[in-house]
Amino acid sequence: MGNMTEITLDDVTALEPGQILTDSIRQWRSDCQSGQFKIGSTTLRGSKIDLELIGAQVNEGEFFNYPLQKWLALLFVDPDGVLSSILFKTESLDNFEELRRQYRLKGETLLGKTIRAQMSQRSGTKKDPVTGEKTATKYHAVEFEITGDGKYAAAIATFRQLHYHPEFIQLTESKTVDKIGK
């Protein structure tokens, strides 16, 4: 028989303020067509989320049926205090990198801060592959801003010290690929 993990159903202790839930990783998605953040593929959570970073890295991959490209993977604590992950690409990735650059120029880290990720509508054009005709398109890109100090900063610092290493994010990515089927 394969590995078995018992799911604890009777431990329903509420989190204390500032405490984070780390027994599993919540998978967030940014649906830039609808302009909504989702938990998994169906639970809509609106056009913005506040997150507190644990780690970040850029990798190449073929996620969510997209061709091979660069993806920004963030490991973070979400507004509910849950250990979470999310992937961004293209313009959203660039927007995050610019926020990181701005704070680095000031000599500040993004750790310990609350970062708001917000959908922002864009317009573009798309060429029809058959007719060659250009049509207008609308999509969203994620923009990032610091909104204040993080309320989970102490718990995140402890988690980073005891559990976090760069491979941690790759483990969350491979779970995402397994779930959606390539």
Beta strand spans in 47-182 (E): 48-61, 69-77, 82-89, 113-127, 134-149
d(CA 58, CA 75): 12
Of the chain, the percentage scoring pLDDT greater than 70 comes to: 91
DSSP letter, residue 81:
S
Residue ranges in 23-128 assigned as alpha helix (H): 90-105
> Structure tokens of 82?
């849950």
CA separation, residue 67 to residues 79, 107, 143 (Å): 31, 36, 23
Picking from 140, 136, 149, the residue whose alpha carbon sits closest to that of residue 122 is 140
Predicted confidence (pLDDT) at residue 182 exceeds the cutoff of 60: no
Adjacency order of strands within the sheet including 69-77 = 43-44, 36-39, 21-31, 82-89, 69-77, 48-61, 113-127, 134-149
- Quick one: pLDDT at residue 174? 46
CB 89 within 8 A of CB 70: yes
- Quick one: pLDDT at residue 30? 92
CB 89 within 8 A of CB 30: no
pLDDT in tens, 70-115: 999 999 999 999 999 999 999 999 999 999 999 999 999 999 999 9
Of the chain, the percentage scoring pLDDT greater than 90 comes to: 58
Pairing of strands 134-149, 69-77: unpaired
Which three-class secondary structure state does DSSP give residue 96?
A: helix
Predicted confidence (pLDDT) at residue 54 exceeds the cutoff of 90: yes
pLDDT in tens, 146-181: 999 999 999 999 999 998 877 766 644 444 433 333
Q: Is the pTM of this model over 0.85?
A: no
